[in-house]
Amino acid sequence: MSCVPVAADASNLARAAAILRTGGLVALPTETVYGLGANALNAQAVARIFEAKGRPFFDPLIVHAPSLEAVQQLVQSIPPAALELARRCWPGPVTLVLPKRDIVPDIVTAGLPSVAVRVPAHPVALELLRLAGVPVAAPSANRFGAISPTLAEHVASDLGSSVDMILDGGPCESGVESTVISFLEPSVPTLLRPGALPVETIEAIVGKVRKRAHSTSRPGVAAASPGMLEKHYAPRTPMSLLSAPADAHLAAELPASQRVGLLCLKRPADVSRYAAVEELSPAGDLRQAAARLFAAMRALDTAGLDVIVAEPVPEHGLGLAINDRLRRAACRDE
C-alpha cells in the first residue's frame, strides 16, 4: 500500500517518533530537502533505507541530531574550527564529517572511520529528533540518483510504497542539500559537496576551505565522499548543460523535430524554440532559484520532452550548489 503524506501535528509526530524507535522508516521535512529517516544506531533499520532507495552500500549517510550535545555523542572529537562552525550555523544546512564513535554502525558510514553529522533547521525535523530520542540517518528521500524531493508529494510518488510514514512540512526552504565539509585533517577543512550554506559563509568562519576537483564517476573508486559520484539528481529525460546562458545558437543546433525544454535562471526574450520553459527566478535571485531547482527539473521531466537544456547560473553563493546539481543531472552514463 502506498503511503500518503500526513500533517506534522502532535499526534503524527509522536507516531513518527515511535516508528523510528522501533526500526521503521519515516520521511521527514528538513530545510534543505525531504529526508528518508531511520534510527542511525539500528543497523537493520538503516539497511531498509538503502533498500528503499536502491542506494549502493558504499555511499554513506548523514546522521541528524537535535543539538550539538547530541552530535557529540556520535563523534570522537570536534576540532575548534568545526566547533565554531557548528555553534554559528546549527541548526542549519551544513554537514560536518568527523571521526566517528563505535556506537555508529558501519552501515551508516559505509565502513569509513568518519561520520557525517548535522542539526537540521526545520521545526518538524527538530521536534521529531527530540521526541524520537535517537539520532536519525537520513539521505534525501528519492530513489538513488534521481531528483531530490522538496515537497512531501515528491516523496510519496518516489518512495510511497516503501516508507512507514511521510510527514508533510510543506515546501523545503533551501531546496538543495546541505553543504558537506570534512574536518578529518583539522588544519584543512575540505568541501566535499557544495550546498545550501554558501562556502563563502563557511570560509568567513573557518578560514580557507580546500575545494576538491570534480569527482570520479566510477562507483567503487573511492571518492573522498561517495556522494561525489558524478551522475546524480538526474531527470529521466536527457539533459545537457550549456556552457553559457541560453542563446539562439544552441536552439538552432538541435533538430527542429525535437521537443526541447529550457531550465534557466531568467526567461530569455525569445523562447519560441522551446516546448517548455522553467524559469528559476525572474529576479535572478539564487536563493529563490535553489529553492525551485528540483521542482523545476521534475516539471520538465514530466513534460514529454526529448531533451532538457539547462543554463548555468552565476558561480557564487548558492550558485555553486545549483551548478553542481545541474552538472550532475547532465552527466551521461558511461
Question: Which entry of Mg ion, ligand TXA, none binds 135, CB below 5 to 8 A by partner kind?
Answer: none
Residue ranges that bind Mg ion, judged by CB under 5 A: 139-140
Binding string, 31-50, against ligand TXA, x = CB under 6 A? -xx-x---------------
Measured from the CB atom, the residue of 273 and 327 that comes closer to ligand TXA is 327
Q: Spell out the long-range contacts of 46-52 with Cβ–Cβ below 8 A and sequence spacing 24 or more.
A: 46/105, 46/107, 46/108, 46/137, 47/107, 48/23, 48/24, 48/162, 49/25, 49/137, 49/138, 49/139, 50/107, 51/162, 52/25, 52/159, 52/162, 52/163
In the block, cell 533538430 appears at 255
Binding mask 193-212 for ligand TXA (x = CB under 6 A): x-------------------
Contact flag: residue 310 with ligand TXA (CB under 6 A): no
Q: How far is the CB of 273 from ligand TXA (least distance, A)?
A: 34
Task: Give the residue with the Cβ less far from ligand TXA, 192 or 260.
Answer: 192
Q: Which of 60, 189, 268, 319 binds ligand TXA (CB under 6 A)?
A: 60
Helices (H), 173-259: 199-206, 248-253
Select the residue interacting with ligand TXA from 26, 115, 132, 181 (CB under 6 A): 115
Least distance to ligand TXA from the beta carbon of 262, Å?
Answer: 27
Residues in region 242-301 near ligand TXA by CB under 6 A:
none
CB of 172 to ligand TXA, least distance (A): 9
Q: Which is nearer to ligand TXA, 214 or 282 (CB)?
A: 214
Find the farthest-apart pair of alpha carbons in the chain and give their distance in angstroms, rounded: 59
Q: What grid cell was written down for 215?
A: 569527482
| SS3 (DSSP) at 251 | helix
Scanning 89-97, 155-163, 288-296, 317-325 for contacts with ligand TXA by CB under 6 A, the matching segment is 89-97
Rounded Cα distance, 308 and 275, in Å:
10
Residues in contact with 253: Cβ distance below 8 Å, sequence separation at least 6, in sequence order: none
Nearer to ligand TXA by C-beta: 30 or 39? 30
Neighbours of 183 (CB within 10 A): 25
Q: Which stretch binds ligand TXA (CB under 6 A): 113-121, 206-214, 242-250, 271-279?
A: 113-121
The 3-state DSSP composition of the chain as helix, strand, coil percent (nearest 5) reads 30, 20, 50
**Contact flag: residue 227 with ligand TXA (CB under 6 A):** yes
CB of 144 to ligand TXA, least distance (A): 9
> Within positions 134 to 193, which residues make up the interface with ligand TXA, using CB under 6 A?
138-140, 177-178, 180, 192-193
Dig out the grid coordinates for 291 from the structure: 529553492
- Per residue, what are the HEC states of 92-153? CCEEEEEEECCCCCHHHHCCCCEEEEECCCCHHHHHHHHHHCCCEECCECCCCCCCCCCCHH
**Residues in touch with ligand TXA (CB under 6 A):** 30, 32-33, 35, 59-62, 93, 95, 97, 109, 112, 114-116, 120, 138-140, 177-178, 180, 192-193, 225-227
